[in-house]
Structure 1
Amino acid sequence: MVIIRHLHIHLYYETAVLKYLISQSKRLLIGASIASVVHGACSVFLLAQISSALTAEAPDRMEMALIFGGTAVAVMLSYMVANILFERLGQRAHAELRSFIAKRVIASDYRHLELIGAARVQSALSEHCTHVAEFFVSFPIILTNAVIVAGCLIYMALLSWQVFLLAVIVIGFGSLGYHLAHLRAIRHLDTAAQEQDRLFAYFRSLTDGAKELRLNRDKRVAFYDNVLGKSIEIVRHERTFGMSLFIGSASWGNFLIYAFIGMVLFVLVGDVPDRALIMTGFALVFVYMVGPLEALLLNIPRANLAQVSADRIDEITRTMAASEEQTDGLSPPSLQSIKLQGVLHRYYHEQSDELFTMGPIDLEFCPGQITFLVGGNGSGKTTLAKLLVGLYPPEEGQIIFNGTVVDETNRDHYRQLFSTIFSDFHLFDRLLETGGVDLDNEGNRLLAKLHLQNKVKVKDGAFTTLELSQGQRKRLALVVAYLENRPFFMFDEWAADQDPVFKEVFYREVLPELRAMGKAVLVISHDDRYFHLADRLIRMESGCLTLNSQAAMKDKDSLASATPSVACSNAV
C-alpha cells in the first residue's frame, strides 16, 4: 500500500483552499502534527518494550517496567494533546473557511454572484466546508497510524531483512490496487459534489415553492420523483460507490497483510534457533500493525473527500471576481447630479431567446426630483436600475457622479448614495446600516405610519418578526430605506403588492415627502393613475428610453395617447 506516498500527495496537493487554511493555523497545525508523530513513535517504542519484556531476565524487569510506564504515560499524553489540538484545528478550519467564502461573496461583483447562483454558495458554506474541516479532525488518525505502520516496518527490518523485503513487495501490490481504486473513486466523488450543488437549489425550491407544491399534486409528485428524489439518489449512489471503492482497496490491503503474515510464519521462518521467539516477535508486530493499518486505509478516503470539496470551494471562489476597491469608513456622499452618458449593457433575454442590448442611454438625475420609469415586462427597467445604482458596470459609456466618472476605484463609494427596494428585495432581521440614539423610536413611528405597529416592532435595533405578507414586508423594507436616509431612493414596483390605501400613502404622502427632503427618487411603476404626480415620466421600450414632459403627464388622456419614440439617444 504505498500509503505514505498517497498521503504525501493529498497533504501537499496544490489547492488554494487548503493552503489558505494551513497558512491561517500554521503553528497549531505544526504543534498538533508533532504531537501525532510523538504519539506514533511512542506507540512503536511501547511495542518494542513489550517484545523485549517477553524475553527479559528477572534483574532487568524493574528498569524495563519504569521505562514501560513512562512510555505509556507519553502515549496517553501525546494522544490527548494531538487530538485536542486537531479538534481545535478542525473547528477553526471550519470557521475560517466559512469566513473566507463569506468575505469573497461580500467582495464579489454582483454580476458574478448572479452567475454563480445562491445554491452553489450555500453548498460551499455548508457541506463542502464540513468535509474540509473533517479532514483536519481525521488528520491525527492518518498521521499517527502512518507513523506506527512505518515504525513497525522498520522494526520488522531490524528483526529480519528478508521479511522486510517481502513486506516491500506486498506494499507494491497493495499500492497498485489502491491507486487504481483511488483514481476511479475520485471521479465518482467529484460527480457527487457537482450534483450536490444542484441539490441545494432543489432544497431551496422545496421551501420557496411550498404553496405551489401543495396546490398541485402532479407537480408535487413530479418534483420529488423526477427532480429532488433523483438528485438525492445520484448523490447517494456516487458517494456510496466512490467510498466503497476505497473500502474495497482497504480490504485488499488487509488481505495482503494476512497473506504476508502466513508467508512469514509458515515459509520464511523455518527450523531456526529461537524460532518461537522470532515468531512471537513477528506475530506481535503484525497484530499491533493491523489496527493502525485499517484505520489508515479507512481514513484516507475522508482526506480524498475533503480534497474534492476543497476543489469545489476553490472553483466557486475563483469565479467570485472582485474588480472594485472597497469603501472603508467613508461617509455617504452628497448628491448634486448623476448623469448617464451613452450607457450600454447587453444580456441574454429569455423572451426573445437572444442577446438583448439596452441603450445607449443618456439621462440625468438631480436632488428633489421624482422620476417614474415605465414600460413592459422585459423592456430593461430593472437592468437600468441596477446600472444606475452601481450593481452592474456599464459595458459602454459612463456614469458621472458630481462631475466625476464612476469606475472601479469609486463605484463602491458611489453605491452608498442609494436606498433601494428591488422587487426581489431581502429583509435582514436587524437594522444593520442605520444607527442613532432614537433608532427604535423612529422605526416604531414609521411602522405606525404604515399601519404595521400591531404586526412588528423595532426593539434594540432589530425587528421582532419578519413573518409578514409580501405587502407588509415591502412596507417594512420602506421603513429600512427611510432610516438609511440616503440621498437617492429607488423603488422597483413597490406598490404592486399594496392595497389601494397604501398605494395612496406611497404616491401621495411618501414620495412628496422625499422630494421635500431633497431626495432624488426613481420609481419603476405600472400605476398609470399616479403618473401625473411625477416630475417626469421615462418610458422604456426594447431597451431604449423616451422622455415625456411634465406637461404631457398632467393629463392622463394625453399621456395614454402619446406615441413613445424608440430612439436610444435621449435628451436629458
Structure 2
Amino acid sequence: MLSVLIRQSRPLLAAAALASVVSGVCSVLLLAQINEALTAGAAASVALAWRFAAFAVSAMLARMLSSVLFERLGQRAHAELRSFISRRVIDADFARLEQVGGPRVQSALSEHTSNVADFFVSLPAMLVNAIIVSGCLVYMAWLSWQVFLAAAVVIGLGSLGYHLAHLRAIRHLNEASKEQDRLFGHFRSLIEGAKELRLHAGKRLRFAGGLLGASIETVRRERTRGMSIFAVSAAWGNFLVYAFIGLVLFMLVGDVPDRMRIMTGFSLVFVFMVAPLEALLLLLPRASLARVSAERIEEIAQALQHDTAAVAATPQPPAFRSLSLEGVRHRYYHEGTDDLFTLGPISLDFAPGQLNFLVGGNGSGKTTLAKLLVGLYRPEQGVVRLNGEAVDEAGRDRYRQCFSAIFSDFHLFEQLLDAPGTERDAQGNALLAKLNLQHKVQVRDGAFTTRALSQGQRKRLALVVAYLEDRPFLVFDEWAADQDPVFKEVFYRELLPELKALGKTVLVISHDDRYFSLADRVIRLENGRIVESGAPAAPVPAAGLVAAS
C-alpha cells in the first residue's frame, strides 16, 4: 500500500525529497563552518560569515519547501486512501461487506488512513535528520578516521539495540491495531444502544467495564508498551552519544597534530547530532505505525471482494414483464441454531401489478429471501430469471435497478441522489403532505431539510424516496412495524393499492395478519421453505386510491 502511494506521487515526492536533502546538507555545512570559525583566525572571518549566511538561508528555504511539499503529499495520501477504501466498499459484494463489518471499515477510514498520512507529513523531518546524521558521520571520518571507527561501533551498538526493540514494539502496535477495529464496534454500540444501556444498570456497567473499558485499556496498554520501547531505545542511543563524547574528550584522542581541532570537531558534531538523532529515533515509530496501518488497509481491501456485477455507469432499469426464482438456494449462519441455515429451494413467479405478502416466524428466512430477490445476495443454486432470461454476473447490477427496497436497517441519505429539480421537489413535498410530515421536513433542492425524526417518521421519509425512485418492483421489510394505527391504515389500504394500480410489483414482509386479505398472494415461509403460496382466504376489494402527486 505504501509503495503504491509512493509510485503515484513520484514527481512530488522526488521534489520534496530533494529539498530535504538540500536542507540536510546545508545544515551539515553550517556545522563545518561553525567548527572552522572556532579555530580560524580573524582574517578568514568575513568569508566564513558570508558562507555561513548563505548556508543558513539555503537550509531555511529548502526546509520550508520540503515541509510544504510533504504536507501536500500527506493530505493527498489521506484523500486517496479514503477514496480507495470508499470505492472498495461501494464495489464490494454485499454479503462480503456484511462479513467484514462496519467497524473495521470505519477504523480504516479514520485511524489507519491518518497514520499513513502522518507518515508522509513526518517524512521531511525524517529525511533531514537522517541526512544531518549521515553528514555528521562523513565529517567525523574526514576529521579522523580512527576516531570515526570508534564512533561507528557506538552507533552500531545503538542501532542494533534499537532494531531489536523495534521488532518487539511492532508486535505491540499490531495488537493495538487489531483491537482498534473492535473498539470502533463498541463505540457504535455506545451510541446506537444508548436507550438499552440507560434502562439496564447491570448491562451498562458490564458494557462500560467489561467491553468498552477493556477494549480501550487494551489499545492504551499495547500502544503504550510499543511506544515506550521506542522511547527507551531512543534514550539508550542518546546515552551512547554522550558516552562517546566522553571517550573522545578523555581517552581516544591522544597527543596528535590538530588535537584541539579534532576534539572540538568531534564534540561539536556529536552535540549537534544529538537532537537530529533523537528526533529521527522518535519519528521512526510513525513509519512503523504507517506500515502497520497500511497492512490493515490492504487486508481489509482484500477482504472486500469485488462485486463483478457492479458497473461504473448508471444502468437504466430494464423493462419489467416477469420475474421468477427457480429452485433458488442460499445458506448462511443462523444464530438461533448455531449452524448453517439453508433457504430453499425457492420457486416463485412475480408479475407487474401484483401485491404479495411474505409472512413467517422470526428466523424463517424472510429478509434473506428478499435480499436474494433484489440481487444483494447471489443464489448458491438455482436460477433467477428476468423476462425469461437468466440473470448472470454481468447483468446482476442492471437487474438490481428494477428494485426499491426499505429493509428494517434502512439508511436515509441527506439527499435524494437523483437528478434534482423543481418538479422532483414538488413531488416529494406532496408525498410528505400525504404522510403528514410536511410540518417537520421539506424537500429543497433535492435534499431533506432534516433527518432528526423518530424511527417511524424516518421510515415514512424512506417511503417517499422509494416512491420518487419509480422502480417497477418495491420491497417493504416490516415497514409498518414502527407506525401508529393511522399510518398503518394509510400504508395498507391506500398506498399499497395505489402502487398496484400504477402497475408496480410489491413484496411486503409483514406480521399484520388483519391486512393479509388485501394481497393478491400470501407467501408463507417456515424454516427456509415455502409452505404456502396463494390467494388469501378472504380477499376484499381495495380501498380509496390516492394520486401519487
TM-score (norm 1): 0.92
The answer as to whether partners of 2:315 and 2:401 remain within 8 angstroms in 1 is no
1:380 aligns with 2:365: yes
Give the drift of 1:313. Answer: 1.1
The C-alpha deviation readout for 1:269-315, integer Å capped at 9, x for no partner, is: 11223322221111111111111001001100111111111111111
Instruction: State percent identity of aligned pairs.
Output: 66
Residue type of the alignment partner of 2:167: L
Query: What does residue 477 of structure 2 align with?
Result: 492
The answer as to whether partners of 2:420 and 2:445 remain within 8 angstroms in 1 is no
Give the drift of 1:435. Answer: 3.7
The answer as to whether partners of 2:522 and 2:536 remain within 8 angstroms in 1 is no
- In structure 2, relative to structure 1, the CA distance for the partners of 1:312 and 1:449 (3 Å cut) is same
Give the drift of 1:434. Answer: 5.0
Give the drift of 1:335. Answer: 0.8
Q: Secondary structure at the match of 2:348?
A: strand
Query: What does residue 562 of structure 1 align with?
Result: none
The answer as to whether partners of 1:345 and 1:357 remain within 8 angstroms in 2 is yes
Q: Report how many aligned residue pairs link the two structures.
A: 539
Query: What does residue 498 of structure 2 align with?
Result: 513
| Partner residue of 1:221 out of 171, 188, 205 | 205
Query: What does residue 465 of structure 1 align with?
Result: 450
The range that moved more, 527-536 or 59-68, is 59-68
1:170 aligns with 2:154: yes
1:304 aligns with 2:302: no
The answer as to whether partners of 2:318 and 2:398 remain within 8 angstroms in 1 is yes
Query: What does residue 8 of structure 1 align with?
Result: none
The answer as to whether partners of 2:520 and 2:536 remain within 8 angstroms in 1 is no
Residue type of the alignment partner of 1:305: L
The answer as to whether partners of 1:49 and 1:68 remain within 8 angstroms in 2 is yes
Q: Secondary structure at the match of 1:243?
A: helix
| Partner residue of 2:171 out of 187, 208, 211 | 187
1:71-86 pair list within 5 angstroms: 71-86=55-70
- In structure 2, relative to structure 1, the CA distance for the partners of 1:380 and 1:85 (3 Å cut) is same
Q: Secondary structure at the match of 1:552?
A: coil
The answer as to whether partners of 2:248 and 2:267 remain within 8 angstroms in 1 is no
Residue type of the alignment partner of 1:392: Y
| Partner residue of 2:54 out of 66, 70, 73 | 70
Give the drift of 1:19. Answer: 2.2
Give the drift of 1:69. Answer: 1.6
Q: Secondary structure at the match of 2:331?
A: strand
The range that moved more, 158-167 or 434-443, is 434-443
| Partner residue of 2:523 out of 523, 530, 538 | 538
Tell me how far apart the structure 1 counterparts of residues 158 and 309 of structure 2 sit (CA, whole Å). Answer: 53
| Partner residue of 2:486 out of 481, 501, 519 | 501
1:403 aligns with 2:388: yes
Q: Secondary structure at the match of 1:54?
A: helix
1:295 aligns with 2:295: no
Residue type of the alignment partner of 2:143: L
Tell me how far apart the structure 1 counterparts of residues 240 and 268 of structure 2 sit (CA, whole Å). Answer: 17
The answer as to whether partners of 1:536 and 1:547 remain within 8 angstroms in 2 is no
Residue type of the alignment partner of 2:257: P
1:367 aligns with 2:355: no
Query: What does residue 431 of structure 1 align with?
Result: 416
Give the drift of 1:551. Answer: 6.0
1:13-32 pair list within 5 angstroms: 17-32=1-16
Give the drift of 1:208. Answer: 0.6
Tell me how far apart the structure 2 counterparts of residues 540 and 317 of structure 1 sit (CA, whole Å). Answer: 36
Give the drift of 1:553. Answer: 4.5
1:330 aligns with 2:315: yes
The answer as to whether partners of 1:337 and 1:365 remain within 8 angstroms in 2 is yes
Give the drift of 1:152. Answer: 0.4
The answer as to whether partners of 1:138 and 1:299 remain within 8 angstroms in 2 is yes
Query: What does residue 131 of structure 1 align with?
Result: 115
Tell me how far apart the structure 1 counterparts of residues 485 and 508 of structure 2 sit (CA, whole Å). Answer: 17
The answer as to whether partners of 1:108 and 1:322 remain within 8 angstroms in 2 is yes
The answer as to whether partners of 2:179 and 2:218 remain within 8 angstroms in 1 is yes
| Partner residue of 1:122 out of 106, 114, 125 | 106
Give the drift of 1:23. Answer: 2.8
TM-score (norm 2): 0.96
Give the drift of 1:131. Answer: 1.0
Give the drift of 1:516. Answer: 1.2
Tell me how far apart the structure 2 counterparts of residues 19 and 461 of structure 1 sit (CA, whole Å). Answer: 41
Give the drift of 1:66. Answer: 2.1
Give the drift of 1:71. Answer: 1.2
Tell me how far apart the structure 1 counterparts of residues 208 and 189 of structure 2 sit (CA, whole Å). Answer: 11
What runs of 5+ residues in structure 1 fail to find an aligned partner? 1-16, 556-572
1:417 aligns with 2:440: no
The answer as to whether partners of 2:524 and 2:532 remain within 8 angstroms in 1 is yes
Tell me how far apart the structure 2 counterparts of residues 547 and 424 of structure 1 sit (CA, whole Å). Answer: 27
1:78-117 pair list within 5 angstroms: 78-117=62-101
Alignment RMSD, CA only? 1.4
Tell me how far apart the structure 2 counterparts of residues 445 and 508 of structure 1 sit (CA, whole Å). Answer: 19
Q: Secondary structure at the match of 2:241?
A: helix
